[in-house]
Amino acid sequence: MSVLRRHRKIEEVALIIQTALTVSISLAPMVLLSACSEKAVVPHTTAQDIQELPVTEVIKQTLSRVDQLPGEIQAYQDVAVYPKVPGFIDWIGVDRGSKVKKGQVICRLIAPELLAQSNESAAKAKAVSGELQQAQSKLASAKASLLEAKAQLAGDEDTYNRTKEASLVPGVVAPNDVVVLGQKVEADKEKVKAWQENIAAAANAVKSLTDSLVAAKKASENYKDISQYLTITAPFDGYVTERNMHVGSFVGPLGHGAYPSIVRVQELDLLRIVTPVPEAIAGGVVPGADVEFTVSTHPSEKFKGKVARIGNYLDQKTRTMPVELNYPNPGWRILPGMFCEVFWPTKRPHPSLFLPPSAVETTSTLSTFVCRVKDGEVEWVPVVRGEMMNSLTEVFGELKPGDLVALRCTDALKPHTKVKPILTAVKEAHAPESARPGYNNRGVFYQTPDAEKADLKAPENTDKPKAF
């Protein structure tokens, strides 16, 4: 009976094992099918799915262009002639349009008050001279009296000494006589001392009056010099461009009252051309460089000046640096006060990188960048925009010549996007084209348009780039 039970248990175990194997074999295809279905949902990228992207190469060039800047023409020397002393015009020999030479008399004045002051100064000097003579006479008299007092003292001392020696013999001289002579000697000494003090006082008076006389004479001479100021001469060779006074007019020095100048004299043989150079190109100013300019008076002609003076400071409002050109003006064809257009040459000392304006993304709120294509993938490279040259813009960043960047950069081109670059040729900027005019923004004149404004005006940027 026990053998039969053991045999039945063995059959049950075998049946359970066979059932488990059957279930496992039946579930295997389902698991395999499930795995295959999960693997099928992973996308598969083919060469036909990669979209084409127009790209351009980064170009290395030296910035060289001509900017059209406004300029102001000034006389090399410009002087408003004022008198040094107030007075009335007695004669004037020039008028507007007169040519003058340096030192030429152009006006004479009369000043009655100045003449009265000069006479008063001369009279004062004469009076001081008389007082000095009296003081010198008193000093001489005091010196004579001192000599007389010293002589009297010497005689009385000799008499006193002799009498005192004689009084040693009893009965020869009365003792009272010796006392009287001794007191007389003391009185003579006091007299000598008093005259010495008088002489010192008289000497001080003479010295004081001498100083006063010297001062009075200098004042008198000064008035004589000031009287020469009544004759006004031309400060340099030039041209009288303004006359404000006439015969009989009262004039005064600059800053005293509200008197205008008598005339204005300007030097026209040499002119100053003052032009504001923008901050971005101020570092390229070269002293001695030739610069061309035009004026509306001679629209078909260009004139050439030379960089002579550099301001070396920036105006806080316009962010420009004043630079002056020298222009010899033969025939006085150009006049001070005219406005001109200066064709300012701009050139960097070292080459830099250039791209089309559309290749630089500036509308993004993140940063300014370019979309570089490397190994078939897009990557964003932050850059800083520089100056424009012809149809290209200057960029600074982690780029090198020959890099491929998207011709139309946009933040829709996400990093790591797979693209197929299609190279598009870009015109190189070897030489500057025509001068670029400036623009006015809210009353402030900007001489050099920045890259963004050129980018906004570029026709190729009117269409939005496609998103990838």
Looking at residue 452, what is its pLDDT? 41
Which of 291, 321, 347 is at the close of a domain? 347
pLDDT for res 329? 93
pLDDT of residue 13: 52
- 177: domain CATH number is 1.10.287
Opening angle at CA 283, ends 281 and 289, nearest 5:
90
Q: What is the pLDDT of residues 5-64, one digit of tens each?
A: 555 555 565 555 555 545 454 544 444 444 444 443 434 445 556 888 999 999 999 888
State residue 435's pLDDT score. Answer: 55
Q: Are 220 and 117 in a shared domain?
A: yes
312 with 357, same domain: the answer is no
Can you say how many angstroms the Cα of residue 218 is from the centroid of all Cα atoms in its chain? 44
Residue 39 lies in a domain: no
Residue 154's SS3 state is helix
- Please determine, for residue 467, whether its predicted confidence score (pLDDT) is greater than 50: no
pLDDT band at 389 (very low <50, low <70, confident <90, very high): confident
The more confidently predicted of residues 25 and 126 is: 126
Q: What is the largest CA-CA distance in the chain?
A: 205
**Residue 159 belongs to some domain of the structure:** yes
Is 333 domain-assigned? yes
Measured between alpha carbons, how far apart are the two ends of the chain, in Å? 84
Q: Is the pLDDT of residue 83 over 50?
A: yes
Q: Are residues 106 and 117 in the same domain?
A: no
Domain hosting residue 89, numbered range: 77-111+230-264
Long-range contacts of range 88-94, CB-CB < 8 Å, 24 or more positions apart? 88/248, 88/249, 88/250, 88/251, 89/245, 89/246, 89/247, 89/248, 89/249, 89/250, 89/251, 89/262, 90/247, 91/247, 92/243, 92/245, 92/246, 92/247, 92/262, 92/263, 94/240, 94/243, 94/263
Cα–Cα distance between 437 and 175 in angstroms, integer?
A: 124
DSSP E strand stretches across 25-146: 51-57, 59-61, 64-75, 78-81, 87-92, 99-100, 105-110
Mean of the per-residue pLDDT values of the chain: 79
- Identify the bridge partners of residue 88 per DSSP, sorted by sequence position: 110, 250
Can you tell me the distance from the alpha carbon of 109 to that of 232, in angstroms, rounded to the nearest whole number? 8
Same structural domain for residues 254 and 301?
no
27, part of any domain: no
Question: Is there a single domain that holds both residue 119 and residue 194?
Answer: yes
CA dihedral 228, 233, 235, 241 (to 10 degrees): 140
User: Average pLDDT in the 357-375 region?
Assistant: 86
Contact 385, 368 (CB under 8 A): yes
The pLDDT assigned to 380 comes to: 92
3 state SS of 323: strand
Residue 291 within any structural domain of the chain: yes
Q: How confident is the model at residue 364 (pLDDT cuts 50, 70, 90)?
A: confident
pTM over 0.85: no
pLDDT band of 455, cuts 50, 70, 90: very low
Is there a single domain that holds both residue 147 and residue 180? yes
For residues 116 and 112, give the distance between their C-alpha atoms in angstroms, rounded to a whole number.
6
Query: How many structural domains comprise the chain?
Result: 4
Determine, yes or no, domain membership for 19: no
Identify the H or E element spanning 28: helix 2-40
CATH number at residue 310: 2.40.30.170
Q: 214, 216, 154, 208: which is closest to 185 by C-alpha?
A: 154
Do 96 and 144 reside in the same domain of the chain? no
pLDDT score for 398: 92
Domain membership flag for residue 144: yes
In a domain, 413, yes or no: yes
- SS3 of 390-443: the string is CCEEEEEECCCCCCEEECCCCCCCCCCCEEEEEECCCCCCCCCCCCECCEEECC
> Do the beta carbons of residue 374 and residue 400 sit within 8 Å?
no
Which of 347, 369, 396 marks a domain boundary? 347
Question: pLDDT tens across 180-199, in order?
Answer: 778 888 888 888 888 888 88
- Looking at residues 366-390, what average pLDDT do you find? 89
pLDDT band for position 395 (50/70/90)? very high
Does 143 lie in the same domain as 58?
A: no
Both 249 and 205 in a single domain?
no
pLDDT digits (tens, 9 = 90+) for 137-147: 888 888 888 88
Last residue within a domain, chosen from 305, 326, 347: 347
Q: Which residues of 94-104 are buried (b: 16+ CB within 10 A; e: fewer)?
A: beeebebeeee
Judge contact between 466 and 414, C-beta under 8 A: no
Residue 432's pLDDT is: 47
Residue 197: exposure state from Cβ atoms within 10 A (0-12, 13-18, ≥19): exposed
